[in-house]
Structure 1
Amino acid sequence: MDVDAAVRAGVYASATAYAPYGSTGPEQRPVTYTNTTGTAVTLNLSVAATHAPEGMFRLSDSRVTVPAHGTADVTLTIDGSGSPGGRSYSGQILATDADARSVAHTAVSLGPVRHKLTVHFKDADGNPLPGVFDLLRSGDSESLPVLVGDSGTTELYLPEDTYSALAFKTVPGVHGPHSWGMALLGDPEIRLVKDTTVTFDASRIERIETTVPQRTEATYQRLDYQRSMGGMTYRTGLETQTAYDSLWAQPTAHKVTHGDFRVSARWRKEQPALTVSTRTTDFTDVLRQDGVTALPTGTRKLALVFAGNGADADYARIDARGKAVVVRRNDDVADGVQAANAVAAGARLLLVVNNEGGRALRGYGEPFGPPVALDVALLSTDEGEKLAAQAKVRAAQVTVTSQPVNPYVYDLLSSWHNEIPTRMTTRADSRSLARVDVAFDSPLPDGSGGEFRYDWIPGSGWTFGGPQPEPVSGARTDWVSTGDYRWNQEAYASGVVYEIGAKTAYRPGSRQSEEWFGPIERPHLNDAYRSPLRIGDSMAIDVPAWGSRDPIGLSQDDTGTTTQHMTLSQGGTTLGEGVFSLVEGRAPGPGKLPYRLVVTGEREAPFTPYSSATRTQWDFVSAAAADPEAETVLPLVQLDYRVELDGAGRAKRHATLTVTAAHLPDAAHVGHLGAPALELSYDDGRTWHRADRIRGGGFRLDAPRGAEFVTVRASARDTVGNTVQQTVTRAFGLR
């Protein structure tokens, strides 16, 4: 079925019509058309089956009128009497509207033995409901979306095989009937060896939740599954963000034995940005909106009043100055107008009762303009109406706690293998989680930017998510789930740099630290970014020039003051050049030859005095793989630096600087790496001093009085001739 067209038209049809070989006579199959619109629709019907004998697929009517919010049937006759034995035929019934636009398809076929799969959709009360599910057959890498109409039932005739049939469905959440939860329904393993029925049953769902010791709110949520059958893997998921307050799943009746199945739930939980409570009620479904001026950090009590729909006239009878005001969202007074009226009335906080299902994150400031001069939060309908009732009481008060910058974050992942169990609520704490002390050293005064931590599950080369706006200045304590998966974090300082950290697997109860945006910034690669590759004789090398510590760093400076240049050569012949982070070139032949990559970067940046210029030269050997389509990771040796710095990026004059060298994962043609060498300059590279290695493997600085910066020149070599030499001018400062 053409799902997009069906949705646009509001009309859809039975998905399949089938008859098996060896029928004693013509077989008749009903084809049902469902109209979800308020207007009757007339469809023109035809059969397209190019290779089928004439008359094999016959319709009872060439036109059908489907009443508004109703159904209409036609009959398909499948007559295989004139076909050669054992041959399969297929085609489709095309349904077009008066403008000849295709609005629905029905697949038709005559072929080997098939069985009927009957699917029922039921809501939490056992009533039928419409839906869409993903049907996946063993050996397929993509699923077939199947629509189920208002009857809550559909029938499919499918070849004998193993299938997965799963759907994401909105269900009532935990904050009342108007709140939303997201549920995974269906069966991940259907052995279709006979007629079978599957029920997507929302009355049988169990909650998926991970609780933590501190009070939190979910700022990111996701439910996804990965199904492998017949040598192929399919993965899909739904990111519910803040509109949904809970995750759910229908437990499986048996364990998956054909292939592999994993269902995962992912949360980012943070200290609530805004909490609201009264003497009798703690409201746990409060969502601070975008484009607002957050209340300062801290707890305060505010008088509480109700201002109806938030129109100007609603404030005529109340004193809102310095108070928290409750209004109902409505179609008559726009969001921005509600906020402007509250500002004009002198309100300090606007609390909006949602008039739609779930919770929405809306913008209350002018697009691309300043935020509204007021804090605004949304409550879901059921919670909001409770607050509205209390706001109407004389002398009502509300206690409000504001936390504009989150001091802690929980990045949580729970997964279940080859089943969906009946109990999916777990508790995580410092013994089961890993602690990560994160330090953001944004070069911007306001710390504007964002970050996110991505999860990587076994067997999947991609993941979900995206950076969320977060201040990237100061310290934060992160707690991260541990298990058979890895994490990588990404962060950006707006208009300056985007950094991508390496993939990491954490141990339960462990503690580690991560630093962002600080010195030493230089060309660097890790396993979360594109590997430098050779395919046949083609090379593609992407090396961002401004990585700090473990992350790689992509410049986002569009002022022209930050530049990067790359040159790839072989034996004195230039193979390619690039003026950003990518260079491409063709090797002169498949044999093993030496190559050179030179990456230079320069910047005159007002936001930092460090890494004003860098030059990195990689000499490496490479040969084409035996398989001309195979990807080979080029052996670019990576250098990493560690030195203790203060908040201004400065080290003590006799501090210890550690340099380590490593090969990229899966790099080809590599040898054993020797210890790195280091030279230091305290006059921007005019003179150099070989640094002496001290006990423990580091190098000791010996900065003269009056020196302000340290320039480094490090090098490393392996036993097959792969080398790196990296110079960073003004790598860091001196106290």
Structure 2
Amino acid sequence: MNRRTPRLIGVAALCAALSAAGQLPLSGASGASGVAGSDRLTGPASRSAVVGLGQGDRVRLTPLGQDGRQVIEPLRSQDGTTPGLLVSTDDHGTTLRATDGSGEPTLVDGTAPTTTRATAADLVELNLDAIARDGRAASADVTVYDVVTGATQAVRRIPGDPDAACSTKSFEDSSCVLVPPGTYSVMAFVNTMPAARPGTARERTVQNVSLVGDPEVAVEASRDFTFDARRARPVEVRTPDHRTKVNADGAMQVGYSRTAANGRKIVRQYRPSAMLDQQFFMEAAAPVRNGALETLTRLRLEAPDIELTVAGRALHPEYYDQVWFSDVITDFPMYDGHDRLRVVDVGHATPADLAGKNLRGAIAVAERTDDLSVAEQSNAAAVAGAALVVVHNDGPGDNDDPNGTGTKLQVPTLRLDRAEGEALKAARGRVEVRGETASPYLYDLVLKEQGSIPKELTHVFRDRDLAAQVREIHGQPTVDSTFSEAAYQYQPEDTFSISTMYPFRGGARNRVEHRVPDPDTRWTYATVTPQTTYNALFPHPPVLPMTLSDPDLVAYESAGRTTKPVGTAPVTAAPSTFRPMERSGDQMRVAIDGFVDADGNHGTSYSTNSGMSTLLQIRADGELVGETDNLPSGVAVLPAGDSRVEVSFVADNPQPWAELSTHTESVWTFASTTVPAGEVVTQPVILADYDVDVDLRNRVLARGPRPVGFDVRLAHAPGAAASPISDLTVEASYDDGRTWRAARATGRAGGRWHVELPRGTGHVSLRLHAADTAGSTLDQTIVRAWYVAR
């Protein structure tokens, strides 16, 4: 008889397989309703989902835990840019809108806010306009909110459609809103545009953003509101213990929450796409009397990536955005070091301008022109010997337009406004240049003002007053590793967090991170290796990176010092922390994370055209009941009653970036039985937690004749029935698993074992077998677990 092999290939195939068996899929895996008890399965219903915001803008929403928290990742469009986002949250739900988009916000959670209901006789008209910091008319996003009852909430984008009627709608492109008389918060995010762009344009690049308005004002009759960004003061940070600067994309977020007197609350967050000044501004506000007000600004400061000093005067250079000239940060030239260089005026950097110029080791200063792209100007000067190129604007203000993309730069290339460019060209003698490509420290600061907004918004932080976290980024033993990173902060009311994936330059290394102690701000992290691509200008082979996410949220309640390692060997597979192996009725959910490091950071691996291949198989009493070589998760139907279940996951990673864990195989076996309706049981799988004293290159130094040792802790999945571990055997190989030798394992208290390896050098592979007294077993093989050096 032909027997069809059951497969677990994503949700669609899972639904089909279970429907064919006469059963419905579990809600924990597919989002559909299931058999009795299936809706009690824990964990997010799916992995990530891509949501369109209109005009080609998209974001990815990724569940981060079992309590509904999600990460919002703005996705790059075809030109390499990401949308700026306005995130609006209230007691109805959460919406997203691109800062330069049009149309209504996109609902991503809950229900849309309702329109104010009132008779025309009860309404007053509010007419809205905005002024930028340079005095021009500006665009703004305005929220009007009733701070007594929270019943009225209206969002307006100004300047709006001049033909739109004044209405009570909850959202409209209009400079007018109708509301009942009352006490309101009337606040706006005002964009100041670059000098060469129209003041009211809605574009991805802005000069700066200001939060202005009145968080509590009585509205008795129709009136005008003007949101004047010139009244706002800069939010600034000083760090006396280190030289710092808000480098590119370091002005991350500005926003506020407003709680009405009856407890209803709105939250508004602005995440810019590209901001030339890297600075936020806020207007002062008196203490509120109804409810509560809190503002939040997030700034990311590092060692200045580039500095130019002319005769003691510090200029304000910035790199052009790397997205126009490269796909990864290692292909983007940056200046590293400290020197004094000559300055040469090269006009527009045409062949005629460069003829006869001695540029060797000099700073070439060019004026921007519409006739040449920045890359053409810079590369021409580089060919002539320039060590650094500065392009200054040919008109008022700043200008980051590259005037063309798709060409790699040969030397570091900076921009200046016209006035500072002329000052640089006029410099006598040499100019001091200082650059730092890999800052040894980071200040990731969430700054809050509560109850009011003071006139002075300069914050001074000494290191001793901040929480310090030493980030330990581990890489490959002999291959240079590249990384990207993101940090996500959550406030108590947040179910969504937005961050930016930043390049982590300098390879495997330590970095000290400083944060403001605050029990209400919780953090989690993600690290990717190799580095993520931020554009697709140049062809490159497909890659499946290892994305390691922190499974926990941590709040830093006081100053102090902690460590946060990631990428620590060995990396192997384990059941998902967020979606444990659980059974309800005769259906068992399985979700395996193929990348799990020794510190519990986790990520998914699956078969792709990168060369990465995986296979998840589930057997009951020796019979295959499900398998997939795609995302390793799904629901398997087990036979009724008692059975012995085996879950195996095999991964092969031949990608050039992966020197370690090139082949891993994990097999969990355990007894399982039908679970009564309405109940969920976590299966008794054994987990191995390795503790190896590796360096940042995941190497262990063997000292003399002493054997290399490590610890391993064996335990069952949280919530599962736990029987004592009765057996552990470990073997080691120094030839990628062709031959094996026994290691010595000694049991210790608390489920810990100490293992001593047989003598050898190079990449060491492990083969582990563990068993408990109830018959659960774990067999785990890791080829090239770490590197032993002598």
TM-score (norm 1): 0.70
* Aligned counterpart, 1:657: 710
Note closer, same or farther for the CA distance 1:121–1:579 as it changes in structure 2 (3 Å cut): same
CA distance in 1, matches of 2:669, 2:217: 54
Q: Which moved more, 1:275-284 or 1:183-192?
A: 183-192
- Shift, 1:374, TM fit: 2.0
Q: Does 1:182 align with 2:232?
A: no
For residues 714 and 604 of structure 2, the distance between their equivalents in structure 1, rounded to whole angstroms, comes to 21
Same amino acid, percent of matched pairs: 19
Structure 2 CA distance, aligned partners of 1:696 and 1:634? 21
Partner of 1:251: 284
1:281 aligns to 2:313 (yes or no): yes
2:191 to 134, 149, 170: 170
Which of the numbers 511, 515, 526 marks the counterpart of 1:489? 526
What whole-Å deviation, never above 9, does each CA across 1:241-274 have from its counterpart, x for those lacking one?
552331111233333744x654322222222222
Alignment of 1:711 onto 2:766: yes
> Mean Cα displacement is larger for which, 485-494 or 117-126?
117-126
Query: Who is 2:665 aligned against?
Result: 614
1:354 and 2:393 correspond = yes
Residue 582 of structure 1 corresponds to which residue in structure 2?
Answer: 632
* 1:202-253 deviation digits (Å, cap 9, x = unpaired): 2332322232221223232222336466767655322355523311112333
Give the Å deviation of 1:643: 0.9
Provide the secondary structure at the position in 2 that maps to 1:645.
Answer: coil
- Which residue identity does 1:132 align to in structure 2? D
Superposition map of 1:143-292 within 5 A: 144-148=155-159, 154-159=175-180, 165-171=186-192, 180-188=207-215, 198-212=225-239, 213-218=241-246, 219=248, 220-225=250-255, 227=257, 234-239=267-272, 243-255=276-288, 257-258=290-291, 262-287=294-319, 290=322, 291=325
What amino acid maps onto 1:608 in structure 2?
E
- The answer on whether the counterparts of 1:591 and 1:624 sit within 8 Å (CA) in structure 2 is no
Relative distance call for 1:296 and 1:274 in structure 2 (3 A) is closer
Q: Which residue of 2 aligns with 1:331?
A: 370
Deviation at 1:350, TM superposition (A): 0.7
After alignment, is 145-154 or 500-509 more displaced? 145-154
Provide the secondary structure at the position in 2 that maps to 1:372. coil
Q: Which has the higher contact order (CA 8 A, sep 6+)?
A: 2
> How many pairs does the alignment contain?
615
The answer on whether the counterparts of 1:501 and 1:526 sit within 8 Å (CA) in structure 2 is no
- Partner deviation per Cα, 1:683-725 (whole Å, 9 max, x = no partner): 4485656721247875333323347625142658799x99866
The Cα shift of 1:569 comes to 5.7
Contact 1:440 1:472 in 2 (8 A): no
User: 1:266 touches 1:414 (CA, 8 Å); kept in 2?
Assistant: yes
Tell whether the 8 Å contact from 1:676 to 1:714 is kept in structure 2 after alignment.
Answer: no
Asked if structure 2 preserves the Cα contact closer than 8 Å seen for 1:244 and 1:359, the reply is no
Report the structure number with the largest CA radius of gyration. Answer: 1
Q: Structure 1 residues 558, 166: closer, same or farther in 2, change over 3 A?
A: same
- Secondary structure in 2 matching 1:309: coil
Aligned to 1:427: 460
Q: Aligned-pair distance for 1:158?
A: 2.4
CA distance in 2, matches of 1:533, 1:361: 53
1:132 corresponding residue in structure 2: 141
Cα shift at 1:734: 3.5
TM-superposed CA distance for 1:588, in Å, is: 6.9
Q: Is the 8 A contact 1:672 1:718 kept in 2?
A: no
Residue 276 of structure 1 and its aligned partner are, at CA, apart by: 1.4
Q: Is the 8 A contact 2:477 2:698 kept in 1?
A: no
User: TM-score normalized by structure 2?
Assistant: 0.65
**Which residue in the other structure is 2:39 paired with?**
none
Which residue matches 2:420? 386
Residue number in structure 2 paired with 1:38: none
Question: 1:127 Cα deviation (Å)?
Answer: 7.5
Contact 1:575 1:585 in 2 (8 A): no
Separation in 2, partners of 1:253, 1:107: 27
The answer (yes or no) to whether the contact 2:713–2:753 under 8 Å persists in 1 is no
Query: d(CA) in 1 for partners of 2:631 and 2:586?
Result: 20
Counterpart CA distance in 1 for 2:712 and 2:289 is 49
Deviation at 1:490, TM superposition (A): 2.0
Gaps of 5+ in 1: 6-105
Distance in 2, matches of 1:357 and 1:676, equals: 76
Q: Any idea what SS the aligned residue of 2:627 has? A: strand
Partner of 2:414: 377
Instruction: Using the TM superposition, give the Cα deviation of residue 286 of structure 1 relative to its aligned residue in structure 2, in angstroms.
Output: 3.1
Superposed counterparts of 1:56-67, under 5 Å: none
Q: Structure 2: state its 5+ residue gaps.
A: 1-52, 56-114, 163-172, 200-204, 326-330, 532-542
Q: Is contact 2:765-2:781 (8 Å) kept?
A: no
Q: What's 2:549 paired with?
A: 500
Alpha carbons of 1:602 and 1:172: their partners in 2 closer, same or farther (altered >3 Å)?
A: closer
Superposed CA RMSD in Å reads: 4.7
